[in-house]
Amino acid sequence: MIFAYARVSTQDQNLEMQLDTFSKYGVDEIFQEKISGAKKDRPQLEKMIGKLRKGDKVVVYKLDRISRSTKHLIELSELFAEKEVDFVSIQDQIDTSTPMGRFFFRTMASIAELERDIIRDRTKAGLESARARGRVGGRPKADKKDVEKALKLYDSQTMTVDEIVDMTGVSRATIYRAVKERKQQA
């Protein structure tokens, strides 16, 4: 069987381009996730791996869709080799059913990690430069009075959390974090 794994990092992104490419490739089953590549726990990837049998093929749109690092990519490559499963990255033109494909796969994995490291370094340098000029990054903190109001509404149990979010402008995560912090302090 030919299995495909499609992933995007956020709920706002869509998988359509990857899915369209897979339909042209003729895959039998597609596993999809909207989750950060940095997350170790990716249920659909694990589910796909559990289904793999000798002679199967795993297809991805690009290498960075399946792995979080070169090390992880190599581990997956070794797992696929152990299970006697071929691996194809369509955009990177890699097919591990050939010796050149296996070599190219390892080379591309290293280059992909280098690219991510360069981006991370540029981002870090940009943040440091901004801080040196007095800018502070990140999301603005919720107003304490709004959080207190949200907690009072939460405690009253007369409104849903979504209604409290709409009324106060305080995010769900902030409300739940404040409730948790209050419990820990008690």
Which residues on neighbouring strands pair with residue 59, listed in sequence order?
4, 88
Sequence ranges of the domains in the chain: 2-115, 144-185
Long-range contacts of 170-173 (CB under 8 A, 24+ apart): 170/142, 170/146, 171/142
Q: Which fold has domain 2-115?
A: Rossmann fold (3.40.50)
Is the whole-model pTM more than 0.75?
no
Point out the residues that are catalytic.
9
- Tens digit of pLDDT for each residue in 12-49? 778 899 999 999 988 999 999 987 767 778 899 999 99
Containing 154, the helix (H) or strand (E) segment is: helix 144-156
